[in-house]
Amino acid sequence: MQTTLRGVGVSHGVAIGEVRHMGTAVLEPPAKQIPAEDAEREQGRARQAVEAVAADLIARGNLAGGEAQHVLEAQAMMAQDPELMADVDRRIAVGSSAERGVYDAFASYRALLAGAGEYLAGRVADLDDVRNRIVARLLGVPMPGVPDSDEPYVLIARDLAPADTALLDPALVLGFVTEEGGPTSHSAILARALGVPAVVALPGAGELAEGTVVAVDGSTGEIFVEPSPEKRAALEGAAAARKAALSASTGPGATSDGHKVPLLANVGGPGDVPAALEAGAEGVGLFRTEFLFLDDSAKAPSQEKQVEAYRKVLEAFPEGRVVVRVLDAGADKPLDFLTPTDEPNPALGVRGLRTLLDHPDVLRSQLTALAEAAEGLPVYLEVMAPMVADRIDAKAFADACRDAGLQAKFGAMVEIPSAALRARSILQEVEFLSLGTNDLAQYTFAADRQVGAVSRLQDPWQPALLDLVSLSAEAAAAEGKSCGVCGEAASDPLLACVLTGLGVTSLSMGAASIPYVRATLAKHTLAQCERAAAAARAADSAEEARLAAQAVLSGE
């Protein structure tokens, strides 16, 4: 008998197949004392295992490329953290085995992260995966991982580590469902990059029996258990229609009555450019430059290295618009040479622009590198600051850009509610706004974007979040300036129509989502988008907002 479950849809498409569960490994090694004379040998074993796991993560990243490569390289750095390894050595020196020392040291670090505020707590799943890989290697047991199968299947897991998600084979893994995670978790972002239908934050997903046939709708978040022939036919028909619409939709983003909505790509570096070009991106709406800095958290990359990376991206979009976000360090992206280690709540402390204003030499070096990279190119370079709170922040950033001789538009990200509420004031200092809806939702609702238990508050359809988007767009329109969205909200085709109706002037997303958004926008007029936006804002919950907008756009 068919039953329906609902989680959070994070990657478009429909997958129908039998359930297979993620494999598990022994996680906790036995607690046993080792002789003092064995300590040096055990410390060596631990270091070898850490280096092997870090090398494996980097190798997986090199194979995957793009966004996945940046995520896995960050995990490798986590494995090799000097303070963590020093703690492992101390524990082994007083009698722990290598595997037990690693396990206990990671447990201690895990507790610190879990209590250190929203951003760092969101990295606990990544830390657990690194720990499991090191301990499994030391114990000689199989790694937790994707099951072996000759037939395509739907993967079910408590959560998926980036190392597993990055190398999923879409020919075998039709889609996946997780019990934890959220719409902006690493797994969700990588699923969209792969084009694999995915649903997260589904309580009880692990109870689905092996071999059960399920249909996963990555757009609505619905899971149909043992779907009827009629339901399967309906889902397959909808998927075929969507695929045909994608193939037929080309060119710049626009509504059916010709209102232009440039569709841009979010990139982390040159490796993400080919996918963006293939998807027809009209430029870059978010160039996350922090990945260049995360290659070595002990020091900033040289100006020459920065110029090389920036120029490769700028050259790919001649006559196009490339929006660069300057270094967003702090919270979940700590850098040893920049960010404090003793903040009680890093997400609410010195991060983003605040970090750069405390280290003006780092900001000036990056702005100078951007100026040099853009020299002689016909690209439209725009540079924006993360975590702008008010006009004082905006002025400080604009002054720094001018002092560095940067010939570009200067902008501010709206990620803090105060910036949305005072957007018009901020626009007295900068020339455009870009809404980072992931962080804006997190700070608006005090809901960690990585925690599945509060996923309903991370939903970008929340009417309060739409109100803040509307305030920002209205302020930009009043000042004759632009206001884009570069958060994950832009990757939802239906929500893209609502954002357009709210007055947003461009949408930036992962490359895989661009065809879906282009095709959906092309089916509706600007007036329909505006009516859908009004209906969504009039609702009292995210689900009601989604249904209200859908009803307007479907003509119900």
**Would you name the residues annotated as active-site residues?**
186, 486
Q: Give the C-alpha separation, 191 to 146, whole Å.
A: 14
* CA neighbor of 139 nearest in space, from 23, 27, 22, 24: 27
Distance CA 153, CA 534 (A): 40
Other CB atoms within 10 A of residue 31 CB: 11
Q: To the nearest 10°, report the CA torsion of 451, 452, 453, 456.
A: 110
Answer left, alpha or beta for residue 117, where phi above 0 means left and psi between -120 and 50 means alpha: left
Strand order in the sheet with 14-21: 3-6, 222-225, 213-217, 14-21, 153-157, 173-178, 198-200, 8-11
Count CA atoms closer than 13 A to 442's CA, side-chain side. 26
State the pairing for strand pair 380-385/409-414: parallel
Residues 70, 75, 81, CA angle at the centre, nearest 5°? 125
CA distances in angstroms from 418 to 262, 390, 422, 439, 452, listed in the order given? 27, 7, 6, 13, 26
* Cα separations in angstroms, 389 against 120, 333, 385, 411, 548: 21, 19, 10, 13, 32
Helix (H, G, I), strand (E, B) or coil at 515: helix
412/310 Cα distance (integer angstroms): 19
Sign of CA dihedral 420, 424, 425, 429: positive
| Six token digits for residue 246 | 């994608």
Which burial class, exposed, middle or buried, applies to 407 when counting CB atoms under 10 A from its CB (0-12, 13-18, 19+)?
exposed
Rounded-to-integer distance, Cα 363 and Cα 371, Å = 12
Spell out the SS3 assignment of 521-547. Answer: HCCCCHHHHHHHHHHHHCCCCHHHHHH
Tokens of 35: 């002789």
3-state SS assignment for residue 348:
helix
Integer Cα distance of 189 and 199 in angstroms: 12
